[in-house]
């Protein structure tokens, strides 16, 4: 988060933003005379005869009248008290976090020898190397004399590795098949917060603290009792979400309006931009991959993913969009010319609204018109996406041009408008998932934590997938015969163990992997060397003709 000063400023301004949204919304509800503002009631200017126009202060009610309207609304007073309680909780949480951040800052300066002003000059690998060297000089971790690069990320990502593994094993209730809509993925920040509260941080969580599971989770005989308790906690949490739904939904609507209204007016096409969904950030994440590493990798994949998704177009929609854009643009052009000729046109009722809506319609229509110079090569574009995101379903191979593949890709790489809509629907959908979808999976989740947890000295209880052990979690499709002993239920899907091991070895070149991992990496390197030796040189491919040059060009 770019240092203590940025963290402090960010947390303070988030608290101020909360106060601003609550105060400004209350002011708009209680202290504005909308009859005067909309000119539905004439304003008496007899006491100031030279004034003929209504000003903003004329539409603001006096403070005593504003206070009377506020006191006369019981529900608004209740909401303000609730908002005040939430703000105080956020203040206490922010202060506790700042104390922790100050300790981290002191640790960086005194123990690691990294001054605050030089923090931006250090990579994570250099920070990690200093930490490992410090452990050798002055043991921070008492049970072990020496730590390795594989001991640090599992501590930082203890809970995140479990979540990534559960998404990989399709245990979390985030994928649904709905009538008319078909397969749907739904994972929002609100649902993620509730799942983490339920599994890791709440009073009924499976973890008793930040580093160890409850002892009964590790006993097979207590699995059904634990599952019943977890299911009961999910239902209670869902009921609590349902009770708070109107307040949370109202807050989300206000926040979305204040956050996106100005940007939508300035750039209506911004809602058509794409972003990696929250589900994609779990599905595509490697084990032990830190947040900034994931962000950099998905950032590199954003441009090719955008090109792939934009390569699909509907001829029917394109024809319709051209004509709708022509009609809206024609009327908009006439209105703009009239306002340039005489600015009094702007005083006509709703003329600004018409100009804004016509501009929005024209921009949206243009987004459905494909580039006439685009080259249709979905297989090559999807391969460029795969080079960065590393995980794509096997049934996509050779089917990059199919509409079904594009629809599944849209679940990972969604429109910004879809992201906003899902966040707005989250207060309504999250309670239903907690009450109805989570309890049937409670037993499987308890079994997962018991079967896929290992205790590492000096690290605590971690997800066993974070050990990157190809012998116990490897997939036979990725390994030579005899290099894995994992039954199907203990294998990670889509080769996640192997890909995570490759990425970790490349990111930490000084790490000395255990023998099974070393053998896998050695076989992989030998295979890559053989493939590179037998592959035709690039100049031969480009010499085949203009078609190959077009398909392999960076712009196509």
- Give the tens place of pLDDT for each residue, 473-514: 988 887 666 677 788 888 999 889 999 999 999 999 999 999
Residues 19 and 117 in one domain: yes
Residue that is last in its domain, among 96, 122, 148: 122
Residues 193 and 240 in one domain: yes
Distance CA 183, CA 185 (A): 7
Residue range 401-417, pLDDT digits in tens: 898 999 999 999 999 98
Residues 52 and 173 in one domain: no
Would you say residue 347 lies in a domain? no
Supply the mean pLDDT for the chain. Answer: 88
Residue range 430-445, pLDDT digits in tens: 999 999 999 999 999 9
Residues 75 and 196 in one domain: no
Across 545-549, average pLDDT: 46
Residues 380 and 451 in one domain: no
Query: Which range among 218-227, 245-254, 345-354, 366-375 shows the weakest confidence by mean pLDDT?
Result: 366-375
In this predicted structure, what is the pLDDT of residue 74? 87
Residues 207 and 112 in one domain: no
β 460-463/453-456 pair status: antiparallel
In this predicted structure, what is the pLDDT of residue 161? 97
What 3 state SS string does 482-499 have?
CCCCCCHHHCCHHHHHHH
Would you say residue 499 lies in a domain? yes
Distance CA 492, CA 486 (A): 10
Range of the domain at 240: 163-313+370-444
In this predicted structure, what is the pLDDT of residue 550? 45
pLDDT grade, residue 51 (50/70/90)? low
pLDDT grade, residue 528 (50/70/90)? confident
pLDDT grade, residue 156 (50/70/90)? very high
Does the structure show a pLDDT above 80 at 264? Answer: no
SS3 category, 152: coil
Please give the residue that has the higher pLDDT: either 268 or 307.
307
In this predicted structure, what is the pLDDT of residue 286? 96
Distance CA 369, CA 466 (A): 46
What 3 state SS string does 47-101 have?
CCCCCCCCCHHHHECCHHHHHHHHHCCHHHHHHHHHHHHHHHHHHHHHHHHHHHH
In this predicted structure, what is the pLDDT of residue 340? 87
In this predicted structure, what is the pLDDT of residue 545? 47
Which of 141-155, 158-172, 248-262, 300-314 has maximum average pLDDT? 158-172
In this predicted structure, what is the pLDDT of residue 556? 36
What 3 state SS string does 273-335 have?
CEEECHHHHHHCCCCCCCHHHHHHHHHHHHHHHHHHHHCCCCHHHHHHHHHHHHHHHHHHHHH
pLDDT grade, residue 370 (50/70/90)? confident
Would you say residue 103 lies in a domain? yes
pLDDT grade, residue 214 (50/70/90)? very high
Query: Which range among 92-96, 155-159, 526-530 shows the weakest confidence by mean pLDDT?
Result: 526-530
Does the structure show a pLDDT above 60 at 146? Answer: yes
In this predicted structure, what is the pLDDT of residue 45? 55
Phi and psi for 475 in degrees, rounded to 5?
-105, 125
Would you say residue 156 lies in a domain? no
Q: Contact 272/366 with Cβ under 8 angstroms?
A: no
Residues 423 and 453 in one domain: no
Residues 273 and 308 in one domain: yes
In this predicted structure, what is the pLDDT of residue 482? 63
Please give the residue that has the higher pLDDT: either 264 or 225.
225
User: What residues contact residue 513 under an 8 Å CB cut-off, 6+ apart?
Assistant: 468, 501, 505, 521
In this predicted structure, what is the pLDDT of residue 363? 83
pLDDT above 90 as % of the chain: 59
- DSSP H or E stretch at residue 413: strand 413-415
Residues 108 and 249 in one domain: no
Would you say residue 325 lies in a domain? no
Q: Contact 215/222 with Cβ under 8 angstroms?
A: no
Residue that is last in its domain, among 444, 459, 484: 444
Residues 214 and 278 in one domain: yes
In this predicted structure, what is the pLDDT of residue 52? 58
Tell me the residue length of the chain: 556
Other beta carbons within 10 angstroms of residue 66's beta carbon come to: 18
Would you say residue 467 lies in a domain? yes
Would you say residue 167 lies in a domain? yes
Residue that is last in its domain, among 418, 444, 470: 444
Would you say residue 334 lies in a domain? no
In this predicted structure, what is the pLDDT of residue 548? 46
Does the structure show a pLDDT above 60 at 549? Answer: no
**HSE value, Cβ hemisphere, 13 Å, CA-based, for 348:** 13
In this predicted structure, what is the pLDDT of residue 481? 61
pLDDT grade, residue 351 (50/70/90)? confident
Residue range 275-300, pLDDT digits in tens: 999 999 999 999 999 999 999 999 99
Residue range 384-402, pLDDT digits in tens: 999 999 988 888 888 998 9
Residues 99 and 170 in one domain: no
Residues 411 and 523 in one domain: no
Does the structure show a pLDDT above 50 at 209? Answer: yes
How many independent structural domains does the chain possess? 3
């Amino acid at each position: 988060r770019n240092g203590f000063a940025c963290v402090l400023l960010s947390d303070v301004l988030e608290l101020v933003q909360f106060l601003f949204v609550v105060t400004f919304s209350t002011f708009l509800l209680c202290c504005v005379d909308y009859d005067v503002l909309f000119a539905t009631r004439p304003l008496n200017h007899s006491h100031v005869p030279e004034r003929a126009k209504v000003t903003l202060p004329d539409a603001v009610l006096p403070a005593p009248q504003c206070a009377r309207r506020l006191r006369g609304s019981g529900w608004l007073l209740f909401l303000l008290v609730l908002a005040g309680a939430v703000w105080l909780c956020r203040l206490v949480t922010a202060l506790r976090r700042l104390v922790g951040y100050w300790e981290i800052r002191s640790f960086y300066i005194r123990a690691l020898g990294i001054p605050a002003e030089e923090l931006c000059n250090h990579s994570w690998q250099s920070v990690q190397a200093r930490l490992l060297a410090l452990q050798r000089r002055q043991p921070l971790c008492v049970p072990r004399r020496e730590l390795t690069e594989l001991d640090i990320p599992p501590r930082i990502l203890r809970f995140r590795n479990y979540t990534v593994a559960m998404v990989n094993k399709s245990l979390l209730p985030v994928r649904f098949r709905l009538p008319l809509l078909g397969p749907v993925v739904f994972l929002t920040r609100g649902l993620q917060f509730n799942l983490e509260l339920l599994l890791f941080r709440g009073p009924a969580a499976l973890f008793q603290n930040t580093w160890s599971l409850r002892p009964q989770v590790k006993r097979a005989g207590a699995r059904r009792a634990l599952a019943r308790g977890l299911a009961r906690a999910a239902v209670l949490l869902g009921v609590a979400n349902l009770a708070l739904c109107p307040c949370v939904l109202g807050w989300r609507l206000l926040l979305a309006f204040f956050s996106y209204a100005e940007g939508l007016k300035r750039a209506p096409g911004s809602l058509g931009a794409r972003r990696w969904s929250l589900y994609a950030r779990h599905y595509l994440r490697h084990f032990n991959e830190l947040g900034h590493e994931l962000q950099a990798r998905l950032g590199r994949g954003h441009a090719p993913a955008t090109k792939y998704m934009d390569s699909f177009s509907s001829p029917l929609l394109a024809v319709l969009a051209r004509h709708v854009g022509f009609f809206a643009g024609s009327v908009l052009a006439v209105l703009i010319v009239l306002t340039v000729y005489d600015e009094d046109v702007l005083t006509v009722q709703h003329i600004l609204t018409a100009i804004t809506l016509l501009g929005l319609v024209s921009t949206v229509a243009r987004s459905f018109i494909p580039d006439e110079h685009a080259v249709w090569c979905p297989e090559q574009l999807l391969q460029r996406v795969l080079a960065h995101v590393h995980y794509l379903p096997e049934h996509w191979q050779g089917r990059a041009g199919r509409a079904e593949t594009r629809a599944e890709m849209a679940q990972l790489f969604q429109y910004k408008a879809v992201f906003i809509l899902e966040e707005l629907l989250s207060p309504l959908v999250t309670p239903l998932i907690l009450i109805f979808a989570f309890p049937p999976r409670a037993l499987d989740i308890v079994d997962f934590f018991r079967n896929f947890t290992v205790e590492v000295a000096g690290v605590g209880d971690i997800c066993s997938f974070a050990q990157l052990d190809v012998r116990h979690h490897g997939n036979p499709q990725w390994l030579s015969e005899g290099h894995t002993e994992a039954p199907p239920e203990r294998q990670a899907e889509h080769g996640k163990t192997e890909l995570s091991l490759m990425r970790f070895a490349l990111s930490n070149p000084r790490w000395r992997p255990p023998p099974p991992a070393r053998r896998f990496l050695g076989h992989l390197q030998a295979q890559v060397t053989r493939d590179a030796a037998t592959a035709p040189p690039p100049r031969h491919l480009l010499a085949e003709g203009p078609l190959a040059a077009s398909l392999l060009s960076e712009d196509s």
